[in-house]
Amino acid sequence: MKFVDEYRDPAAARALVAHIDHLAGDDHFKFMEVCGGHTHTIYRHGIEHVLPSTVELVHGPGCPVCVIPMGRVDDAIALAETPGVIFTSFGDMMRVPGSNGTLLGAKARGADVRFVYSPLDALRIASENPDREVIFFAVGFETTAPSTAVTLLRARALGVRNFRVFCNHVTIVPPIKAILDSPDLRLDGFLGPGHVSTVVGNRPYRFVPAQYGKPLVTAGFEPLDILQAIAMLLTQIREGRCEVENQYTRVVRDEGNPRALAVLAEVFELRPHFEWRGLGFISQSALKLRPEFAELDAELHYAVPGVRVADPKACQCGEVLKGVIKPWECKVFGTACTPETPIGTCMVSSEGACAAYYNFGRLHREAAVTLGRTR
């Protein structure tokens, strides 16, 4: 594990932290990591507690399960309970509460809800069950949307007539813009998402420095990747630069994956607006099937309730997703809301800030409190 050791080398981490401390000086900086995978790394490795107190990380909206609003979960459950339907979903979405329970609950009541790993699994189920109607619950950012697009193209090419997609794909740029426009939070820069950027590339983020004057550094998922990206953000600020940089050059290319982008453009178009949990309605922030694919669109084929449902009052996922509060500052965190009995989405997904903090981060924080190093 030579490579792994290099990226987790404590001496290298200490040197980077000292460099970050030096760059930050006496000023205070607040950076948002957009991606749930980064949040996970940060809590898993206790990065918040090795950073100097001058550098604060806040968690962003880049958890695809977390941002699905309750109304869409209700729609999914209504589709799942339609007679004759086999409803297929990624495992993460099965435990997300709507206003009246979860997909798992619907399954327990008799609905045919099946866990799939890939949209192609759902298409196969449709091929094998020609007398049933199969719906795939599509969620995710641009990391997973191309897979749904390819599956839809394949369904059309094969003439599978009993397969449809309930599309909830979202795009990464609009929520970043919404957060920058929000008066709640003053940020000094962003750690750009890793895997989404393998698809979209680095160019879509150029508005962040150009229009908002904030630097953005696309980062990898290793502890040293995160520390290095923080150092790159501070270096930009200290040198008077403000641009999009790529720390994760091992995987991310500036132009992204052109073929995946082409497939997305062929199959999907932007919705005029879409509701995000915690962030409200954001215009042109989600994907729907183009009219040429109307036959495959579950929302057009079935009567979907489409009712907007407010989040439970006790749940503060919205504030967590906007980075306004930390998970442990939520009133129900760790008491009424745990990974076993989640109230909010951020506690369901392993990429959610609350679940990551519950599983890993609080141990580091408790240790830090014990050592008198909390903040």
Partner 1 sequence: MCLGIPGQITELMDEHEHLARVDVSGVGRVVNIGLLEDERLQPGDWVLIHVGFAMSKIDEEEAQLALASLQMMGAAYTDEVQALLSSGSAFDARPGRSA
Residue with token string 């999009």:
244
In the set 250, 308, 331, 373, which binds partner 1 (CB under 8 A)? 250
Contact with partner 1 (CB under 8 A): which of 15, 108, 210, 251? Answer: 251
Minimum CB–partner distance for residue 355 and partner 1 (Å): 8
Shortest separation between residue 243's beta carbon and partner 1, angstroms: 23
Does residue 35 belong to the site contacting partner 1 (CB under 8 A)? Answer: yes
Nearest distance from residue 3's CB to partner 1, in Å? 4
Question: Is 37 near partner 1 (CB under 8 A)?
Answer: yes
Q: 287-289 and 268-270 as β-strands: parallel, antiparallel, unpaired?
A: antiparallel
> Binding pattern to partner 1, positions 313-352, x when CB under 8 A?
-------------------------------------xx-
> Which range of residues in 39-47, 95-103, 180-188, 299-307 is near partner 1 by CB under 8 A?
39-47
Contacts (CB under 8 A) with partner 1, residues 42-81: 44, 62-65
Q: Give the residue with the Cβ less far from partner 1, 36 or 344.
A: 36
Query: Which residues are CB-contacts of 15 (< 8 A; sequence separation ≥ 6)?
Result: none
Q: What backbone phi and psi angles, to 5 degrees, belong to 113?
A: -105, 125
Nearer to partner 1 by Cβ, of 40 and 214: the residue is 40
Which residue from 16, 31, 36, 226 is in contact with partner 1, where contact means CB under 8 A?
A: 36
8-state DSSP, 170: B
Q: Looking up tokens 């949307």, which residue turns up?
A: 145
Site for partner 1 in 220-249 (CB under 8 A): 220-222
DSSP string, 43-70: HHTTHHHHS-TTEEEEEEEE-TTTTS-H
Q: What would you report as the CA-atom Rg of the chain, rounded to the nearest whole angstrom?
A: 21
**Residue corresponding to tokens 């094969």:** 158
CB of 330 to partner 1, least distance (A): 20
Among 30, 124, 290, 362, binds partner 1 (CB under 8 A): 124
For residue 108, the 8-state DSSP code is H
* Closest approach of partner 1 to the CB of residue 116, in Å: 7
Nearer to partner 1, 204 or 220 (CB): 220
The 125-164 contact track toward partner 1, x by CB under 8 A, reads -xxx-x--------xxx-xx-xx--x---xx--x-x----
Let me know if 99 is exposed, middle or buried by CB neighbors in 10 A (0-12, 13-18, 19+): middle
Q: Which is closer to partner 1, CB of 56 or CB of 351?
A: 351
In this complex, which beta carbon is closest to partner 1, that of residue 24 or of residue 135?
Answer: 135
One character per residue 180-219, x = contact with partner 1 (rule: CB under 8 A) = ---------------xx-xx--------------------
74 close to 309: Cβ distance less than 8 angstroms: yes
39 binds partner 1 (CB under 8 A): no
Longest dimension (CA), the chain: 68
Nearest residue (CB) to partner 1, 56 versus 225: 225
Give start and end residues of each alpha helix (H) in the chain: 2-7, 10-24, 36-44, 47-50, 70-80, 103-108, 119-128, 145-158, 173-181, 195-200, 207-212, 223-238, 258-267, 298-301, 317-321, 353-356, 362-370
- Whether 122 and 99 have beta carbons less than 8 Å apart is answered as no
Beta bridge partners of 190: 32, 216
Sequence-ordered list of residues with C-beta below 8 angstroms from that of 221, at least 6 positions apart, any chain = 37, 38, 41, 194
**8 A C-beta contact, residue 292 and residue 268:** no
Binding region for partner 1 (CB under 8 A): 1-4, 7, 35-37, 40-41, 44, 62-65, 90-92, 115-121, 123-124, 126-128, 130, 139-141, 143-144, 146-147, 150, 154-155, 158, 160, 195-196, 198-199, 220-222, 250-251, 257-260, 263, 350-351, 355, 359
